[in-house]
Amino acid sequence: MESGLSFSRFFLKKETISPLLNMPMPFCVRISRRSGFLLFPIILISAIFSCNQKTEIPFPDNPNGWQTPKAVPFSFPEETPIRWDTLNANYLPKKTTLPFVIEQMPSKPFAVNDFAPISQPIAEIPFVFEKLKSIAVNLDSVKADTFAVRKFLVPPPQINLATIPSVWRGGTSGLVKLGQAEGLVGNRILAMFSDSLGVTWITTEQGLNKYDGRTFAFFNFFQKDQTGATETLSDIVQDTEGNLLISSESSGIYRFNPVLGMAEHFRTGHGYIRIELDSKGQLWGSGTHLYKIDLEQKTEIPLKVSDPDYSLAFCYGVNSDADGNLWIGYQNTIGILAPDQKSFDLSDFKKRLR
């Protein structure tokens, strides 16, 4: 006989059941090992039957003595009036007004790049409009060039958590920096612009960064050259509808709607160094020439002027003033396009600008 017993799916060893066979039974009857083998199935069935009996177990008393919360009616107390003390105006201190004139504050001119006082006083150059050399122009007679446009959905940006701006190495606490260590994508800043919502947009050699003080959102939906590098994004302005206009030095202009996540690429076939929206909403671009750009009509008009005394081969910058004049920077002089766009004046201090 095996050293254990099998019943149904249970297996009991002899050493396990031996104590049960040797225990005292009622009426002083001892059970032998042989008869115990016959009694074991009855005991097991009784145990299983007793476990299936449903009995209610009373919930134990709370040993900590906590009482069940009870709802108590609540009412606000009566209002208590506030007592105000009225002071006599004659006893109040009278205000003192100190004049502040910024022009009378002590100041010392300094060089922006070196953050140090300049070595010599600032020289003033007289500028008289009536004495400028004027050239007659007529943009309406110039043939407009057309260009194509591609509209597309902008991929979701890469989000980087922005850290606190750090103090520039060797600088003061008033000069801080935002770079790759702070979450910016790119090593070289090309253009910056703060929109009407206070968000700062920054273009680098990698693409476009959106900075809101907490995060950097990086966009890269721009054209790439043969090496895979992103084209140079030279300038940013915002139109009246909230779109960002981003100029490229090689392919044209991008119009980006940050709310809808849509962009348009106006492929002019050339690039721009700077772009400008004047007070009338007219878009201008500087590059090989000064360009009058119409994105809705997909046309541009180049302003080609020449003069034997000035180098007007390339336009480096463009900016509009409050009077509607358009200021254009050339190599050694400044051109001024009148608000009626009929005359083009040239400054007479080219030698002193070198």
CA distance 211 to 119: 37
Which helix (H) or strand (E) element contains residue 126? none
Residue-wise pLDDT tens digits, 290-348? 999 999 999 999 998 888 878 888 899 999 999 999 999 988 888 999 999 898 888 86
CA distance 160 to 285: 32
* CATH code of the domain occupying 129-353: 2.130.10.10
At residue 122, what is the residue type?
I
Q: Which two tokens stand for residue 269?
A: 């076939």
**Is the pLDDT higher at 172 or at 290?**
290
Residues with Cβ within 8 Å of 168's Cβ and at least 6 positions away in sequence, in order, are 175, 176, 177
228 — alpha (psi -120 to 50), left (phi > 0) or beta?
Answer: left
Tell me the domain boundaries of the chain. Answer: 11-49, 129-353
At residue 18, what is the residue type?
S
Beta bridge partners of 292: 284, 301
13, 217, 240, 265, 266 from 256: Cα distances, Å: 82, 14, 13, 9, 11
**Is the pLDDT higher at 278 or at 175?**
278
Pairing of strands 317-320, 299-303: unpaired
Query: How confident is the model at residue 127, as a pLDDT?
Result: 75
**To which residue do tokens 């001119």 refer?**
109
Q: How many CB atoms lie within 10 A of CB 286?
A: 24
Query: How confident is the model at residue 302, as a pLDDT?
Result: 93
Residue-wise pLDDT tens digits, 17-35? 444 445 444 433 444 445 5
- Entry pTM: 0.65
Residues with Cβ within 8 Å of 302's Cβ and at least 6 positions away in sequence, in order, are 142, 145, 288, 289, 290, 291
Query: How confident is the model at residue 132, as a pLDDT?
Result: 84
